[in-house]
């Protein structure tokens, strides 16, 4: 059947069929909505199907966060992004698979099994928003939302050969996003091209009285500057390109992209971010610290599956022991330790100070350059089960974490492929210069 682009039902049927044909193999969705509401708004996304990462609430659907503890939790209200998308006419097709509570880089930490990379089903799609990236890459939905705490939109986008955009911190409401690390979390779109990311961004960005960290800072999407790369200055941190974990193949594809920027009139210069060597350690103190606090609400009483026992403490212990997976437990233990009175100064407070230092160094570079560029991930998508040591995955977040620590906008674009596996190119811009970054990304893609 040919799709009639003027007919909402015809578009819906096309994507609905694709989801039902390919999801069994890809495991991209945790929930497929059988008969989605198609009566909503006549706005700019009228009739466009989409999917939500399963840590974003949509009333009436389940929100599992990829966890056993929430496996039968039904959303009782809509996240602000969900409401905005409904008002714009977008059609919610389902919820997508993720690493449990967004902790991970591959969806292998989902309680519902890993999603598959559409380019090679033996490989991971990345994570934690891996289900969203796989769904978009396989053409099951035109766009999906993810959440990004340390790279979870951009890295899966890179592994799946699609576009992943993390907005400046404070532009998109987190109301109705299940919190992982509140000072780092940001919702953003995963799309097949930059134009689509812009259309979704226009709808989801905006001040929200329900999220006190959103900022009244209207972006001017009418502004089309820059129109070409002439004279634009791109900073390439030496520590990133010389990072020993960077695969030669990824480096090659990235360098080709750099050369094409120079050919098109852009200026690429090497810079230094001396504190880059601390970013992974800093993130893995701050994020688990916040997570240990945010996840204390899952006690089997207020939220989560309950394991019955005689005493209150036993109910909580057993519910959490049963409901959380190993990675989530690891983070809670780490976070509780670093926030404890005896170690707060030595670890958590120190991490906050290093976070300031890292932000300062990057902002200084961005006062002289338009963008910081680097590969999105040091590797291409690994095989499912290939990396079993969590620390190896943590170290690979080195390229994406800085944008979260500093609250900056960042985008991952498809840069090319190595032996059929996509490689991502990341750019990072000054805070709230999202439009300029997106316009430049559009030239580069
Ligand atoms: N891989 C990182 C982590 O495991 C990032 C996750 C994220 O951005 N949600 O914490």
- Residue 186 near ligand 1, beta carbon < 6 Å: no
Atom of ligand 1 nearest to the CA of 331: 10
CA–centroid distance, residue 80 to ligand 1 (Å): 22
CA–centroid distance, residue 130 to ligand 1 (Å): 11
Any idea which residues carry the catalytic annotation?
Answer: 53, 128, 152
Helix, strand or coil, per DSSP, at residue 263? helix
Report the C-alpha gap between 151 and 315 in whole angstroms. 35
CA–centroid distance, residue 288 to ligand 1 (Å): 10
- Residue 66 near ligand 1, beta carbon < 6 Å: no
Is the ipTM beyond the 0.90 threshold? yes
Report the C-alpha gap between 166 and 215 in whole angstroms. 16
Hey, which of 99, 104, 190 would you mutate to test ligand 1's pocket, going by the most ligand atoms within 8 Å of its Cβ? Answer: 104
At 1 the pLDDT is 65
Helix, strand or coil, per DSSP, at residue 244? coil
Extract the residue ranges of the chain whose pLDDT is less than 70: 1
Report the C-alpha gap between 127 and 129 in whole angstroms. 5
| H helical segments located in 146-209 | 154-160, 194-204
- Residue 131 near ligand 1, beta carbon < 6 Å: no
pLDDT digits (tens, 9 = 90+) for 95-116: 999 999 999 999 999 999 999 9
Atom of ligand 1 nearest to the CA of 287: 10
Helix pair 8-26, 130-137: axis angle to 10 deg: 120
Is residue 51 within 8 Å of residue 132, measured between CB atoms? yes
Is residue 433 within 8 Å of residue 409, measured between CB atoms? yes
Of 289, 246, 285, 235, nearest to 408 (Cα)? 235
Q: Which two tokens stand for residue 445?
A: 């893609």
């Amino acid at each position: 059947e040919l799709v009639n682009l003027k007919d909402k039902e015809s578009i819906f049927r096309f994507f609905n069929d694709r989801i039902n044909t390919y999801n069994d193999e890809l495991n991209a969705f945790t929930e497929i909505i059988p008969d989605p509401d198609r009566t909503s708004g006549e706005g700019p996304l009228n009739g466009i199907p989409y999917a939500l990462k399963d840590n974003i609430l949509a009333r009436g659907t389940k929100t599992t966060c990829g966890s056993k503890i929430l496996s039968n939790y039904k959303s009782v209200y809509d996240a602000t992004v969900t409401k905005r998308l409904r008002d714009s006419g977008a059609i919610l097709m389902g919820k997508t698979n993720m690493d449990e509570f967004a902790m991970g880089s591959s969806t292998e930490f989902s309680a519902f099994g890993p999603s598959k990379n559409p380019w090679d089903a033996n490989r991971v799609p990345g994570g934690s928003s891996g289900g969203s990236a796989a769904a978009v890459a396989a053409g099951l939905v035109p766009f999906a939302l993810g959440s990004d705490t340390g790279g979870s939109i951009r890295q899966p986008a890179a592994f799946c050969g699609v576009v992943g955009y993390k907005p400046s911190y404070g532009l998109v409401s987190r109301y109705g996003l299940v919190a992982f690390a509140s000072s780092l979390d940001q919702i953003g779109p995963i799309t097949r091209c930059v134009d689509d990311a812009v259309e979704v961004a226009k709808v989801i960005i905006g001040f929200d009285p329900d999220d006190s960290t959103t900022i009244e800072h209207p972006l001017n999407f009418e502004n089309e500057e820059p129109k070409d790369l002439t004279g634009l200055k791109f900073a390439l941190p030496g520590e990133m390109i010389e990072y020993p974990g960077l695969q030669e193949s990824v480096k090659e594809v990235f360098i080709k992209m750099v050369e094409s920027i120079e050919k098109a009139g852009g200026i690429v210069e090497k810079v230094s971010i001396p504190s880059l060597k601390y970013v992974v350690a800093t993130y893995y103190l701050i994020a688990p610290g916040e997570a240990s606090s945010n996840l204390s609400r899952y006690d089997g009483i207020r939220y989560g599956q309950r394991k019955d026992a005689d005493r209150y403490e036993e109910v909580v212990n057993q519910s959490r022991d049963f409901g959380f997976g190993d990675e989530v437990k690891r983070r809670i233990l780490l976070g509780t330790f670093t926030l404890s009175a005896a170690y707060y100064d030595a670890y958590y407070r120190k991490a906050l100070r290093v976070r300031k230092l890292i932000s300062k160094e990057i902002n200084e570079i961005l006062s002289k350059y338009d963008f910081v560029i680097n590969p999105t991930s040091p590797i291409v998508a690994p095989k499912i089960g290939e990396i079993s040591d969590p620390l190896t995955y943590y170290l690979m977040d080195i390229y994406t974490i800085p944008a979260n620590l500093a609250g900056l906008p960042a985008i991952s674009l498809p840069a090319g492929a190595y032996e059929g596996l996509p490689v991502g190119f990341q750019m990072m811009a000054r805070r709230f210069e999202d439009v300029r970054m997106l316009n430049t990304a559009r030239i580069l893609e």
